Amino acid sequence: MARPARDLLQAARQQLTRDRWDFQREKHKLFTSQVVLDEIADGEAAMAQQRRDLMAGIPLLDLTAEANSLTKEILASGLLPTDADRDTAHIACYPANHGLQTSP
């Protein structure tokens, strides 16, 4: 959650995200990671609390050694930009926690 953006395109993106959470959430098996929880804790306290409330009850994936290794492999491969390390770490948590074979 964030206060509505003044920029029309950003406001539209925010609304699409809210709609997805409101209307699509129950159709999917959701997982999160500590990376995401750390990220949503940033910013204005009231908005951060609303974000944390939305994430309540979503299973937390572990940041395992395998997830860290996969994060490094993905970043080294160039599949994602090097400044997307937090996003990459979050992505790497799922296969690492579910024993999926990976090769970027």
Residues 24 and 58 in one domain: no
Provide the domain limits for residue 63. Answer: 31-104
At 16-71, the pLDDT tens digits run: 988 887 888 889 888 999 999 999 999 999 989 988 998 899 999 988 899 999 99
Residues 21 and 39 in one domain: no
Residues 43 and 19 in one domain: no
Which pLDDT score is estimated for 26? 87
> Which of the four pLDDT bands, split at 50, 70 and 90, describes residue 101?
low
Residue 100 predicted with pLDDT over 70: no
Structure tokens at 72: 């490094």
Sort 58 into a burial class: Cβ within 10 Å, 0-12 / 13-18 / 19+: middle
The total number of structural domains in the chain stands at: 2
Residues 72 and 101 in one domain: yes
